Amino acid sequence: MLRPCLRLLKNKKKNAWKIVATFLVLLVVYLEAAVYFLNRSLWPSLTCAVEPTNYHRVLLVADPQLLGEETETWIARWDCDRFLSKTFKLALEYVEPSMVIFLGDLFDEGSTATDDEYERYHQRFKRIFRTADRFFASKTIYIPGDNDIGGENEDITPQKLNHFDKYFGLKPDVVSFHNVSFVKINYMLKSAPHPPSGSDKVLTILLSHMPLLGASSFFTEKVIRDMKPSLIISAHDHKAVHFVGDLETGERTLIESMSTDERSLSDSKWRFQSSKKHTNEILVPTCSYRMGVKETGYGVLLIDSKGDNVCYSVLWLPDRLYHLKIYFYVFLPVTALYLIMYFFGRNSLVRSQ
């Protein structure tokens, strides 16, 4: 009588664990695939408020900071690389950009890497951020960050500059693209090219890893007064922030952030227009979940090809840290419980025989 009851109990446990196993499989499918496509459905439309007949699409990538080999485990590097690869591919396919701009801090340990480490980091970078072949980017710009060449808490050396220049190129300082002049500003070296000469129809957009209006100094104020940019794009602080600055003094006059409430609006965007009195600076959030901020994303710039209207929005990304917590608090305990119950039930059946 006892043996049939144990068999019946064992069958019920099998059915229960089949349900649990199915749930875990579906959870993995959701966290590793479905959530990315569901999140993409919330991205803002690629239109500007003024509805220009034609505009250039620019994808902005800030602070990917590929994890280094000295301070991170292989599994941490693997998971972060997968996250960046998935989200960048989705962003490329969604935006179909005519230009991709990397705003610095490409590597987390670039400024301390040996020649061999830098080569390995670059190979990983190429695998993650593929912009050629079947993708749509026709031009790519790379800006060095303090984690690439030093400058914030570390000295900048010729070796560090040579590393970045060998794989990504430090020149040219000015990149012309249709009706836009992109000007590279190196805040760490306190260097800036001569103001580009051009007609009033050419937009001057400054590219800097560190914020210019966010870190006001004699250097930044002089750059803004001399260049009189239509727009400034920067990174470093890992957040979505907007500054307004006075073109005559180079000083900041306004600061605002893209709030969580705005993030929930699928069509939230900022629109800017060239002015002779003030300029705007956009801080692009980091795209890496390992940078200690909850909200990560890629920036999208829409530039009117016939005028001076620019729209900016953020492609917000899934909260990968939250998903890893789900694995830790749900997946691992359930799996451990299954193994305990499996061996407990097996031992009970053996004793009954």
- Per-residue pLDDT of 181-210, as tens digits, reads 999 999 999 999 987 766 566 789 999 999
Alpha carbons 59 and 95: distance in angstroms, whole number: 7
Are residues 349 and 206 both part of a single domain? Answer: no
Quick check: 234 and 283 in contact, CB under 8 A? yes
C-alpha closest to that of 46 among 87, 98, 89? 98
Q: Check residue 13 and give its pLDDT.
A: 59
Quick check: 58 and 303 in contact, CB under 8 A? yes
Are residues 34 and 70 both part of a single domain? Answer: no
Q: Check residue 271 and give its pLDDT.
A: 85
Q: Check residue 329 and give its pLDDT.
A: 83
Q: Residue 316: phi, psi to the nearest 5?
A: -70, 145
**Scanning the structure block, which residue is given the tokens 């912009």?**
131
Taking residues 96-125, report their average pLDDT.
94
Six token digits for residue 313: 């929005």
Are residues 3 and 137 both part of a single domain? Answer: no
Q: Check residue 6 and give its pLDDT.
A: 45
Average pLDDT across the chain, whole number = 84
Alpha carbons 117 and 68: distance in angstroms, whole number: 9
Lowest-pLDDT range of 52-61, 157-166, 201-210: 52-61
Quick check: 251 and 295 in contact, CB under 8 A? no
234-247 per-position pLDDT tens digit: 999 999 999 998 88
244-278 per-position pLDDT tens digit: 988 888 888 888 887 655 555 555 778 888 788 89
Hey, what amino acid is at 85?
Answer: S
288-333 per-position pLDDT tens digit: 999 988 899 999 999 987 777 889 999 999 999 888 888 888 877 7
Are residues 185 and 334 both part of a single domain? Answer: no
Six token digits for residue 59: 């994808």
Q: Check residue 81 and give its pLDDT.
A: 96
C-alpha closest to that of 82 among 97, 67, 70? 67
Its pTM stands at: 0.88
Distances (CA, A) of 184 to 173, 209, 337: 5, 9, 56
Are residues 278 and 193 both part of a single domain? Answer: yes
What confidence category does residue 83 fall into, taking pLDDT thresholds of 50, 70 and 90?
A: very high
Are residues 189 and 237 both part of a single domain? Answer: yes
Alpha carbons 290 and 83: distance in angstroms, whole number: 10
Are residues 2 and 97 both part of a single domain? Answer: no
Is the omega angle on the peptide bond into residue 172 within 30 degrees of 0, that is, cis?
A: yes
Are residues 94 and 18 both part of a single domain? Answer: no
Over pLDDT 90: what percentage of the chain? 51
CA geometry: angle at 60 spanning 85 and 155, to 5°? 90
CATH number of domain containing 289: 3.60.21.10
Q: Check residue 2 and give its pLDDT.
A: 46
Q: Check residue 100 and give its pLDDT.
A: 95
17-56 per-position pLDDT tens digit: 677 778 778 888 888 899 999 999 989 988 886 665 688 8
Domain count for the chain: 2
Are residues 56 and 205 both part of a single domain? Answer: yes
Rounded to a whole number of angstroms, the CA Rg of the chain reads: 25
Are residues 115 and 195 both part of a single domain? Answer: yes
Are residues 193 and 160 both part of a single domain? Answer: yes
Whether 349 shows a pLDDT value over 50: the answer reads: no
Range of the domain at 334: 1-41+327-353
Quick check: 131 and 115 in contact, CB under 8 A? no
Are residues 291 and 345 both part of a single domain? Answer: no
Taking residues 105-126, report their average pLDDT.
94
Q: Check residue 342 and give its pLDDT.
A: 63
